[in-house]
Amino acid sequence: MGLCVVGTGYVGLVTCAGLADLGNQVIGVDANPEKVAQLQRGEIPFYEPGLKELVDRHRDRNLSFTSDLKAGVERSEVIFIAVGTPVDEHGEADLSAVRAVASGIGRALNGAKLVVVKSTVPVGMGDLILGLIAEQNTRHFPVGVVSNPEFLREGSAVHDFLQPDRIVIGAERSEDADRLRELYQPLQAEVLVTNRRTAEMIKYASNAFLATKVSFINELARLCGAVGAEIGAVARGMGMDHRIGGAYLNAGLGFGGSCLPKDMRALVRAAEQNGQEARLLKAVLEVNQQQLLWLGQRLAALIGPLAGKTLAVLGLAFKPETDDLRESPALAATQQFLAQGARVQAYDPAAMPKARALLPGASFAQDAYAAAEGADALLVFTEWNEFKEMDLPRIKAKMRGSVLVDGRNLIDPIRAKTLGFTYCGVGRD
Ligand code: UGA
């Protein structure tokens, strides 16, 4: 099938490569010609394990890139919209890119098309997209618009595309749902077909639930710390109950990234616009913000005022296996420390090139050991595997102080204490 994917960010590019891998002829369209040139050369603009290999396998065979939306649409039967939908601090989504693409598709129509919305859009946006296309559809070609939300995680996006837990298709016409079902058939995944608005809501509901689990466990972690319980075992004990499940119960610095915080704010806003108060969702966001304040207080209690102190920060990305710093709690905490006059020596296996501009005043080390040199405290902020396997005695020998703040509960507290660290985890000491 001739397919076109508009937008080559995380979701778009993974979708391009994944659909090409399923044997389709795919054209990736991006408005940014520099980005297109990069992709044509086989350069991936961000770090995502396995993506380059997949793109390389299909590039110049059944995967190509262009900045010409019209050409992409004309040569395709199915068009995926995967452009960004950033939201402002009030949760209001900027839908200008989606609108522009919808109108552009309408102008380029040369036959019947199916438009598949992968971008996370407010509930009801599918209707608007259909309207914008219809405005330009002067020759009245049959066009269907379906919602097909994406559930891939950064860091395991390729795996998530090729082995999804489920595929949600929100369609108003059964033939549109059947078309998309057929396209995904090689994945042999469970498919749920709903109406369009329900599918749009499933996306928000899923991310909101994951965020709720994280804030729930973080709030309990603080309580565990106060009453002498151990959060890791509490989470395991809860997770063994299949009704609860163990995923997304790792206490830490809180959730970040380009999706969970943004989608939570958008959902709160949507509730308000519909005359409802989203009390639980607001609390989830609040708990997430408090987590960083709490961390700052714990650190200050251990080493005193931060001015003039040297802090070794291990991990800046919002989670491992990505260089994404968007709404990263690790980055926000580090910025707080710098503002308080601390000297920061940071190390992240992938995110340092992007972090330099965002952390003026910090110095960047070539590995964890160099970051630990002369540090009063060591802070582990992202659960990269290499931090799990660090040579702790070597780290300790490099440091001036002995405080170890384990913001992701990565290091065994007993081992750390035996080595002479003053250990502080999240809900376990
Ligand atoms: C999230 C969803 O998991 C995907 O299903 C969805 O497709 C994606 O958003 C999206 O909307 O595009 P992602 O942003 O890649 O994916 O991040 P997650 O892996 O879900 O992690 C989110 C944050 O929660 C991270 O900061 C992570 O460190 C934190 N987290 C996660 C915890 O603190 N504890 C946990 O137990 C799990």
Tens of pLDDT along 51-62? 999 999 999 899
Convert the pLDDT of each residue in 61-73 to its tens digit.
999 999 999 999 9
Q: What is the pLDDT of residue 282?
A: 98
Answer yes or no: is pLDDT of 238 > 90: yes
**How many of the other CB atoms lie within 10 Å of CB of 352?**
18
Q: What is the mean pLDDT of residues 182-205?
A: 98
Answer yes or no: is pLDDT of 90 > 80: no
d(CA 119, CA 106): 18
Q: What is the pLDDT of residue 157?
A: 96
d(CA 382, CA 258): 16
Convert the pLDDT of each residue in 361-395 to its tens digit.
999 999 999 999 999 999 999 999 999 999 999 99
The set of residues, in sequence order, having a beta carbon less than 8 Å from that of 288 and lying 6+ positions away, is 211, 214, 215, 218, 254, 255, 261
d(CA 230, CA 41): 50
Expressed in angstroms and rounded, the spacing between residue 189 Cα and the centre of ligand 1 is 21
Residues with CB under 6 Å of ligand 1 are 120, 150-154, 207, 210, 214, 248-250, 252, 255-257, 259-260, 318-319
Q: What is the pLDDT of residue 60?
A: 87
Residue 264: which of 252, 279, 243 has the closest Cα?
279
Answer yes or no: is pLDDT of 87 > 90: no
d(CA 316, CA 31): 29
pTM above 0.85, yes or no: yes
Q: Which residue lies with its CA nearest to atom 5 of ligand 1?
A: 151
**Ligand 1 site-directed mutation target among 121, 153, 380, most atoms within 8 Å of CB:** 153
Convert the pLDDT of each residue in 262-275 to its tens digit.
999 999 999 999 99
Angle in degrees, CA 84, 86, 89, rounded to 5: 175
Report DSSP letters for 338-374, one per residue: HHTT-EEEEE-TTTHHHHGGGSTT-EE-SSHHHHHTT
Which residues are catalytically annotated?
259
Q: Are 191 and 169 in contact (CB under 8 A)?
A: yes
**Ligand 1 site-directed mutation target among 255, 258, 290, 291, most atoms within 8 Å of CB:** 255
Provide Rg for the chain, Cα atoms.
23
Per-residue confidence band for 30, with pLDDT thresholds at 50, 70 and 90: very high
